[in-house]
Structure formats: C-alpha cells, structure tokens
Amino acid sequence: MTLNFTGKEKAMTTIYVKTVIHRNEKRIKLIFDYDAGLIREVRKIPGCRWSQTMCCWHIPFREDYLTYLAEQLGNIEIVYKEPPVQLRGGLKASDTERKKINVIHNKREGLYYIKIPFYKKDEIKKLEGAWWHPGAKEWSVYANRENRHQLKEIFEQENYILSFVEDEADTPKKTISKKKPIPELVEKKFEGEMILRNKSYRTIATYKSLINPFLDHFQGSKIKMLPAEKIREYILERLNVDHYSRSYQNQLINALKRYYEYVHDREFEDFDLPRPKKRQRLPNVISREDIQKMLDITRNQKHKTILSILYGCGLRRNEIIELKLQDIDLNAKTITVHGKGDKYRIVPIGKKLEQQISKFIKSYLPKQYLVAHYRIQKYHHWDQRSIHTMKI
C-alpha cells in the first residue's frame, strides 16, 4: 500500500508503509524520499521516532493506521497496491530481487553460523546459544529445530530468502599448491634429487635461483669438468662486483656443491671453495617491559595473539603461519611446532596465552590454520610478509 503526499509545490512523494517488530515492539515503518515538509508533518505524529538501524521514521502500530495517517498528515490520497521490498540503505527492489542469507550448519559443532544485517542483532540475541564472533563478523546459535523455526520467522517477515547449507569445513578440501615452473637452465635432475632428499620448497627455490646465473655465466663451457679455480673466480666476482654478503657466499657455495654432487657426481672440499668466516654478533634481545608495551598498545586481536605466541613460545615466523588447530592442545596446554627439515617439538603454553588463543579461536573461527586469511579462505594461511608488516 502506498500513501501519496502532495506538498505546497504539488510535488508528489510516495510513502511506503510496512508493519515491523522493532525493539520488541510492533511499529509502522514510513519509508519515503527526503522531503523536508513531509518530515515536519510526520514528526508531529505522537510516538514517531527515527530509527538509525532501519534508516526510516516509524510510529506505534494500530489497526486503523491508514485512516489514522490520513487524519494526521492531512491531504493524503491513499492508493492500494502491493508494496515493494525495502532493502538496506533505502533501495527498493521487487519480490524477484529478495536478499539471500545463508545459514551455515556445522554438524560437528552442532551450530548454525549466520551473517545478518546489523539491525537484526537484538532478535538474534534471543535465540538459544547465541554468540557473537567479532573477528569473523558472524553469529552462531545452537542447531536445533526451535532456532531453525525462529530464524525463518525473523527473516521471512522481512522478505529475505533464508537458505540452510552444510558447512564445507566438516569435510576439508585438499589444497593443491601451485608450484613454480622449472627454470630452463637448471636440469630437472637437480630439482628431482633435491625433492628425493626431502629438501624444503624454500631451499629448492633458493638453490635454483643461485644456480641459474651460474649456468648462464658459463654457457658454452663444459660445466661438469669446470675447474675449481674458475668457480672460485665466479664467486669472487659476485662478491666484488655485485657486492653480495657473506651469507650469500655461503648459500652460493652450498648450492654449487649440491648441484655438482647431485647432477655430475663431483664433490668439492672446503679448500676448493673456501667459506667466509662467520661474524660473531650479539643477539638483539627485546626486554620483557617492551614486549608488554607492545601487547598493551595492540588493539587488533589477531596481531596480539601472534605477538603473544611468538614471544611466549619462541616460534619462527614460518612456524606460526603453518600452525594448525590440530597442533594446539588447550587441555594439555601445549603446541606442537613443525620446524625445518620435518623436525617437530612440543612447546608448553602458559595460562594467559591459553586463554588468549581460546578467545581468538572463538572470535575468528579459523577452520584449519590458526592464522588464516579471513577474506580469501579460512583454509589459507598468512605468509611471512604479513607477519613482518602487521601493524601494532
């Protein structure tokens, strides 16, 4: 039903009228385009209020509200027709454009997960087991018949389409990692041998990036029988011309030794390819007071949890991004850390850290990795750069 208001300049404004439950009270929504004159008249109606959540004016419900509105607003022509659906932000849509809301049913946890419009939060709070997860920005309620019925009642009266779907997290998908193509210069045998020896993906990528320039430099030469003196000259050139560090020199020597050993069955001694003397540096230790200051000023719950685990358990960046929920035992207060070379260790966690992790899991609802990309996938973990650049 629409009410047409005629202003002094004979401008026609349409008011859409709808009955709703707002703050546990039955009300009449008055939805219309901005009209200062009409607003002045509407505000004179007893009990009229503006709703920030519904973005409209509303008045107390009464059975004769159409006649009552005509009496209160004066010169109104009433036209009877089916009203359009009112969407958030004042946009209008037909019945074929109804907004869809998915209710995710997690059978393992016995919960419904749902993302709702903000103005519906008071109604969701009344459902059994209602819990707000601020990190994931969604609600969870017990998955029972009563809640299912209440959810339908709450949203179908607003002309939403409610769809109950199974949670894909109950049957985790196998993630397929996209491997970089093998460079043309590096023989496939070199990469294959490293894979057989269970080298990490990062080590394989580093060695290939070091061997490629070496093979390119000696193109046309017999690589297998290349004299050690030529290789020493190549290393010296990289240090003097390109100004590479001692750490690079060590990595390059390691890559060359593995390349000749795996591909050409040739071994080098340390006197053939001399290693630089390691610098003895004192570690930079962050005081306990500075760590506490960092945690105190960190407002982001995810960042605070990462800092707490890094400091409290002594994890590396790559170890925390690879940390899965199955590696965390809150009952035993331990974390199983998978380190380099398929080595693992069990690290105890204190009571405060256990509470911090538990609070984080309830808030962000990670599915596989503890620290996951919320916007991309709940199965996809962060990378090391994300840890390094996170803001405090």
Per residue in 342-360, pLDDT (tens digit) is 788 999 999 999 999 999 9
- Percent of the chain at pLDDT above 70? 78
How buried is 86 (Cβ within 10 angstroms: 0-12 exposed, 13-18 middle, 19+ buried)?
Answer: buried
What percentage of the chain's residues is helix, strand, coil (to nearest 5)? 40, 20, 40
| Whole-structure pTM value | 0.47
Query: Are the C-beta atoms of residues 59 and 45 closer than 8 Å to each other?
Result: yes
Q: Which residue has the higher pLDDT, 96 or 190?
A: 190
Per residue in 229-268, pLDDT (tens digit) is 888 888 888 877 777 777 888 888 889 999 999 988 888 8
When the pLDDT of each residue in the chain is averaged and rounded to a whole number, the result is 78
Report in angstroms the alpha-carbon separations of 323 from 80, 145, 221, 291, 301: 61, 36, 46, 22, 17
Report in angstroms the alpha-carbon separations of 198 from 230, 252, 260, 357: 30, 20, 18, 32
Q: Bridge partners of 238?
A: none
State the Cα–Cα distance between residues 55 and 77, nearest whole angstrom.
Answer: 24
Looking at this protein, which amino acid is placed at residue 351? K
Taking each helix axis from N to C terminus, what angle separates 201-217 and 188-196, rounded to the nearest 10 degrees? 150
Domains along the sequence of the chain with CATH: 2-89 (no CATH), 98-170 (3.40.1170.30), 188-263 (1.10.150), 288-389 (1.10.443.10)
Q: How do strand 49-51 and strand 56-60 relate by DSSP bridges?
A: antiparallel
Region 111-137: mean pLDDT is 86
Give 220's DSSP letter.
T
Closest CA to 135 of 317, 337, 375, 336: 375
Among 93-97, 102-106, 241-245, the range scoring the smallest mean pLDDT is: 93-97
Per residue in 372-388, pLDDT (tens digit) is 755 444 444 566 666 66
Q: Where are the beta strands (DSSP E) in 284-370?
A: 328-329, 334-338, 344-348
Q: Is the pLDDT of residue 76 over 70?
A: no
pLDDT band at 335 (very low <50, low <70, confident <90, very high): very high
Q: Which residues contact 161 (CB under 8 A, 6 or more apart)?
A: 98, 99, 100, 101
Tell me what pLDDT residue 392 has. Answer: 56
